[in-house]
């Protein structure tokens, strides 16, 4: 007669092999899922950092352009004539360089998104161009100070709007 312990040992061994195989598959699957989640979290964190850096850079360049525009008080304080025109010409030259930086930074924001922040950056750039054109008109003696003031005010309002949208885009949860 056949000994039952041999069959019991065979079944127990087979069960152990199958259990080991199932456990191995489960561990492999969970490790893969964990790696995907970790990679996704790292990608999201990197994208958020890139956006924050792009938003910060645009805000800094807009501030630099605003500093040029603020020099209008210096032009206002200068006597009419050559001194005033010299201040306006310096502002014109400085605003062109600052506007180039605003353009570069706004394009970076357009690449990073999201769409509402990108559109706000494009709009901010357009308002910066408008204010700079008004400054050029004043420097050439053909501009209107009230038009410049309006353009500058709208430019500052759009900067505030951009900051609000950028802040919302960076919020978590």
Q: For the segment 119-137, what is each residue's pLDDT rounded down to a tens digit?
A: 999 999 999 999 999 999 9
Q: Does the residue 153 lie in any domain?
A: yes
Residues 6+ apart with CB under 8 A from 74: 87
Q: Does the residue 164 lie in any domain?
A: yes
Q: What six digits make up the tokens of 28?
A: 């492999």
Burial of 99 per CB tally in 10 Å (0-12, 13-18, 19+): buried
Q: Which domain holds residue 140?
A: 51-170
Q: Does the residue 122 lie in any domain?
A: yes
Q: How far apart are CA 131 and CA 65, in angstroms?
A: 10
Q: Does the residue 2 lie in any domain?
A: no
Helix (H) / strand (E) containing 1? none
What tens digit of pLDDT does each residue of 84-110 get? 899 999 999 999 999 999 999 999 999
Q: What is the CATH number of the domain that holds 117?
A: 1.20.120
Q: How far apart are CA 38 and CA 44, in angstroms?
A: 10
pLDDT at 158: 97
Residue 89: closest CA among 56, 136, 42: 136
- The total number of structural domains in the chain stands at 1
Q: Does the residue 97 lie in any domain?
A: yes
Q: pTM of the predicted model, to two decimals? A: 0.78
Q: What six digits make up the tokens of 82?
A: 């050559």
């Amino acid at each position: 007669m056949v000994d039952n312990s041999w069959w019991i040992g065979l079944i127990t061994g087979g069960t152990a092999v199958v259990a080991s195989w199932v456990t191995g598959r489960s561990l492999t699957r969970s490790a893969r899922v964990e790696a995907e989640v970790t990679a996704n979290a790292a990608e999201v964190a990197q994208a958020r950092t890139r956006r924050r850096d792009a938003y910060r850079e645009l805000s800094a360049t807009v501030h630099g352009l605003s500093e040029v525009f603020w020099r209008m008080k210096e032009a206002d304080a200068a006597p009419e004539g050559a001194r005033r025109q010299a201040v306006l010409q310096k502002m014109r030259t400085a605003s062109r360089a600052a506007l180039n930086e605003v353009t570069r930074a706004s394009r970076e924001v357009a690449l990073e998104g999201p769409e509402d922040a990108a559109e706000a950056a494009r709009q901010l750039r357009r308002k910066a161009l408008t204010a700079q054109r008004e400054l050029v008109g004043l420097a050439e003696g053909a501009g209107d100070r009230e038009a410049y003031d309006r353009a500058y005010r709208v430019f500052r309002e759009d900067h505030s709007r951009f900051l609000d949208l950028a802040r919302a885009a960076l919020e978590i949860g």
